Structure 1
Amino acid sequence: MMGSPMRRDDISNAYSHPSPGYGTSRYSRTYSNLSSSSHADEEESSNLETTPPPRIASRFAPRPPSSPCLNKLSMKKNVNVTAALINPEDEELELMKDKYTKLLLGEDMSGGGKGVCSAVAISNAITNLYATIFGTCHKLEPLPPEKKSMWIREMDCFLSICDFIVDPSPIEQTMPEAETAQPRMDIVMNLPALEKLENMLLDLLDSFDGTDFWYGDPRNDSFKSTKSFSRSEDKWWVPVPCLPDNGLSILASKELQKKRDCANQIHKAAMAINNDILAEMEVPESYITTLPKSGRLSVGDDIYYHMQTTDQFSAETVLSSLHISSEHEALEIADKVEAALYIWKRKVNISHNRAAWDMRSDLANDGDKNVVLSSRAKSLLLCLKEKYPSLSQTTLDTSKLHYNKDVGKAILESYSRILESLAYNIVSWIDDVLRANDSIRNSVSYSYTI
């Protein structure tokens, strides 16, 4: 039977001890060469030798004001320590130093200045880490321990950068700068939510341990005798789920449906955060220069006819009339609608910024029309993304990410994007099992009828 997805309880008290700083560093000292020493020195040496190691906080616990990982990056290694006695934590710190160095240099270690900015480098690194860990995962099963450990360790390294991104605030003369600096509001609002979503997704994968279904290899002869369903040719690389002769039990089917609903809600939440972060990014000038003069030229006459009608507008009706046959065609329409949306929003801002004496009735009516068109274009774009959840990034989103220089927004955007992708994959994998179960039950009921 499948276990229900586990959720962690309150994690606000996970940091019960302060993070270790420079004052807790231990140094290796030898007193054998001293001719004489006091009793106090001997007590100090014994206390240093018996000091317990600092406590390591949980990956998903609330972040302390200062990350212990970054505090350790500035600690110098003791030259008296031999290579055979190097602590594994020191090796991990060395790897972290190399990683941060590459990120600060924009992934260009040659020193030739051919790298990208730090924000783009961090975004690419998080995306590449997701591809490394989850790129070969196509089954409903727990993540292997070594991959899960690598994922948590590497993501903790990337997310610890957010501990040092603060809001610029007026500094009082009587208080030092370190006491007045506050974490940036977008990070405070979104980062804990994303970490909770990640925790739920990993727990959801862990719950698929000892399930009533399994995955078979179509190339194996024993696979033909199992109950499965035919895989579409566009997903030939995805494993095919196999079920018992009578399918899943009613209880197992209900549990699987609950997990599907949970993953779907996580997908919607991650997608909403990602859309908000992308909307806050500045539109690059290179994208503005490529825009047509009007929104009608961007979307075309067919879509514009549906959008400018005075009757009640329905985004679903517009999409059904377009007869979209592939995701590539859907992405092209999304690019056109998003460009028109930005054109109409710019016209609205320009009309609102005009002086009062220059406002004529025709300009006011045109401004209201642009408001209506921009609102309908936004609803059409959202409906298109909901109908095609695996749609690639639009031209505007790609331009924003390429020219973005805000490290905090880069981390939040890439973090929410990979969680959105993982949640969508889990939903699609569960749908495969449910379809296979429905196929088996229909065949069994049909045999009983005969």
Structure 2
Amino acid sequence: MDSSSVSVSDERARRRRPRRRRRGASWTRAAGNLSRTVSDVSTSFSEQCSSSVDHSGPFAVAKLIGRSPATNALSRLSVKPRADVLDRRSTDDEMELVKERFSKLLLGEDMSGGGKGVCTAVAISNAITNLYATVFGSCHKLEPLPAGKKAMWRREMDCLLSVCDYIVEFFPSTQTLPDGTKVEVMATRPRSDIYINLPALEKLDAMLIEILDSFQDAEFWYADAGTRSFASVTSTSSTMSSSFRKSMHRNEDKWWLPVPCVPDAAGLSETARKDLQQKRDCANQIHKAAVAINSGVLSDMEVPDSFMAMLPKSGRASVGDAVYRTMLGADKFSPDYLLDKLDIESEHDALAMADKVEAAMYVWRRKASASHGKARWSKVKELAADDDDKNVALANRAESLLLCLKHRFPGLSQTTLDTSKIQYNKDVGQAILESYSRVLESLAFNMVSWIDDVLFVDKSTRNK
């Protein structure tokens, strides 16, 4: 038998020999499928980022939403894509910054990874506050927001607000089967407070950015005190900036702020002056709307036990004898008259008074609830409507005094109770609504102040 026949027979024997199944073959195929999935995901993510950016990290998941081939897998998980976020592009530096902030968000601001961070609600609230400080912290002028900061604000806010897309509540509904049978099922819908307040806040946000963008070609400009200004500023107007600084009592305690300047001859034109006044009124209305939403969200938050434990034993000890006698003795209580009598001069004194009145209000509410079987305050007010309950009357008067104090000082800082609610709040939806409305309130208030500065300078120029 020649060598060729031997080799052919050996080859046939090998083909007939049963192939032994290697251990771990199924795991190898599964690993192969997994590696292909990861490869597809990485390819999809690399289309959006440059090759130099690290594709790992929690933000990669957000960027993959709605993109092929991961769309099918994410749709099975009921992940809703946000097209407005996905259409935007970012530079490498911005992407790294976003990844860093989302990592801090997931870690609860505990960079050690030991699980000692704050809860999710506080982490998101701090993230929105820090983002506002990064984007608008250096803005002190009525001018369009830089394109980079505007893109950062919209992109990161969209990502932070995307959490609200999955905060839902169940409600009974009916579903018709293919055979025509109707069955009762539990369906989901957005939570009522988010469904009402979040679109309103997004609209207010867009309006504020639009107002800033409208100052592209303004008749006024800014210059530092005592220095030569830029743009169309002359040496005469540069000299005027120092006098403006001295005459503007509103900003004398903030000497680093730029000084608004107007043309020397007759100030702003009538059209520009009316346009400024309209924008001021619009920003003022936005400020009031943001304050209303913020106050409503804070009132819905639970009062932390730590605050109730620190309350004084009596409301009289909190507000003082003079205020207590005025609140108790008057037949018709007037909070404005009481504030005029107190003669509060600074915001520091106003905040201290607000803390005292708020603490006394909760002391009287607690006593009223205890006298009515520890019922809720809303029920106590209904039960004691016809009764001569001193604690209920004092609590209502303290609430009206607190509201009047906040209206008289619109830029008042948060009270001790408000900061305690934010610190111990665990409701993510309420945390987002509170922080979002708070930063919009601050931006609107600053814009009103900046417009007032320009109008004040224009009035001073025309009166010369």
Partner of residue 133, structure 1: 135
TM-score (structure 1 length as normaliser): 0.74
* Structure 1 residue 203, shift from structure 2 partner: 0.6
Q: Which runs of 5+ in 2 are unaligned?
A: 1-36, 45-65, 69-77, 178-182, 229-234
Q: Which moved more, 1:329-338 or 1:301-310?
A: 301-310
Q: Kindly indicate whether residue 463 of structure 2 is the aligned counterpart of residue 442 of structure 1.
A: yes
* Structure 1 residue 308, shift from structure 2 partner: 1.3
Q: Kindly indicate whether residue 402 of structure 2 is the aligned counterpart of residue 381 of structure 1.
A: yes
CA distance in 1 between partners of 2:261 and 2:92 (Å): 46
Select the structure with the greater relative contact order (CA < 8 A; seq sep ≥ 6).
Answer: 1
Alignment of 1:346-357 (within 5 A): 346-353=366-373
Residue identity opposite 1:158 in structure 2: L
* Structure 1 residue 96, shift from structure 2 partner: 5.6
Partner of residue 301, structure 2: 281
* Structure 1 residue 228, shift from structure 2 partner: 3.9
Instruction: Report the aligned-residue RMSD.
Output: 3.5
CA distance 1:305–1:217, shift in 2 (3 Å): same
Partner of residue 254, structure 1: 274
Residue identity opposite 1:304 in structure 2: Y
Q: Kindly indicate whether residue 248 of structure 2 is the aligned counterpart of residue 231 of structure 1.
A: yes
Could you report, residue by residue, the CA deviation over 1:349-394 in whole angstroms, capped at 9, with x for unpaired residues?
A: 3333379xxx9xxx99886322222222112111111221221111
Alignment of 1:189-338 (within 5 A): 189-221=196-228, 222=235, 223-225=238-240, 228=244, 230-232=247-249, 233-245=252-264, 246-338=266-358
Partner of 2:329, secondary structure, is coil
* Structure 1 residue 400, shift from structure 2 partner: 0.6
Alignment check: 8 A CA contact 1:69 1:157 kept? no
CA distance 1:374–1:27, shift in 2 (3 Å): closer
Question: Higher Cα Rg: structure 1 or 2?
Answer: 2
CA distance 1:283–1:276, shift in 2 (3 Å): same
Partner of residue 391, structure 1: 412
CA distance 1:219–1:71, shift in 2 (3 Å): closer
Percentage of matched positions with identical amino acids:
60
* Structure 1 residue 340, shift from structure 2 partner: 1.1
TM-score (structure 2 length as normaliser): 0.72
CA distance in 2 between partners of 1:262 and 1:343 (Å): 39
CA distance 1:53–1:66, shift in 2 (3 Å): closer
CA distance in 2 between partners of 1:291 and 1:285 (Å): 10
Partner of 1:167, secondary structure, is strand
* Structure 1 residue 294, shift from structure 2 partner: 1.6
Alignment check: 8 A CA contact 2:224 2:257 kept? no
* Structure 1 residue 442, shift from structure 2 partner: 1.5
Could you report, residue by residue, the CA deviation over 1:53-111 in whole angstroms, capped at 9, with x for unpaired residues?
A: 89xxxxxxxxx982337999xxxxxxxxxxxxxx9799988876654443232111312
Residue identity opposite 2:362 in structure 1: Y
* Structure 1 residue 114, shift from structure 2 partner: 2.3
CA distance 1:417–1:411, shift in 2 (3 Å): same
* Structure 1 residue 170, shift from structure 2 partner: 6.1
